[in-house]
A = this chain, B = another copy of it.
């Protein structure tokens, strides 16, 4: 059995914490090939007034300086936007595991074209949480993706 669902649970826990804080419920985590957690984080736009901290960049930041990202997996509750897709491509993160892409379809096809392994879990809880948030706070969501 792949550990993807277990890793997604880490990202989902971050998303739930973000929601409880009044923020965007998007979480992410960065794992090594052997399943070691390097970093985890959540979108911090509302909490810190920081537009640069998307879930993926927060997890990447939390992992600190790394010599290589070869073999690592970024797991995220939502399809990565261009900003976060660019992060994955630039740093050579090997795999992206995505909770859902129903609410938002970011750059993961582009990542797949450029050799990143993309796993889309289509998780119902991720989709329900994000879908409800976007319905309730459309302005915040559009701000977060620069729409």
Chain A residues in contact with chain B, CB under 8 A?
45, 49-53, 57-58, 60-61, 63-69, 81-87, 89-92, 107, 143, 145-146
Q: Give every chain B residue within 8 A of A66 (Cβ-Cβ).
A: 51
Interface of A, helix, strand, loop or mixed by DSSP: loop
On whether the beta carbons of A67 and B143 are closer than 8 Å, the reply is: yes
Q: Give every chain B residue within 8 A of A107 (Cβ-Cβ).
A: 86
Q: Give every chain B residue within 8 A of A83 (Cβ-Cβ).
A: 83, 86-87, 89-91
Give the most central of A64, A90, A91, A107: most B CB within 10 Å.
Answer: A90
On whether the beta carbons of B51 and A61 are closer than 8 Å, the reply is: yes
- CA A64 – CA B81 in complex, angstroms? 19
On whether the beta carbons of A90 and B145 are closer than 8 Å, the reply is: yes
Contact flag A52-B45 (CB < 8 Å), given A83-B86, A86-B86: no
- CA A87 – CA B90 in complex, angstroms? 12
Contact flag A51-B67 (CB < 8 Å), given A82-B90, A86-B87: no
- CA A90 – CA B80 in complex, angstroms? 11
- CA A81 – CA B61 in complex, angstroms? 17
Q: Give every chain B residue within 8 A of A86 (Cβ-Cβ).
A: 81-87, 89, 107
Min CB distance A91 to B, Å, is: 3
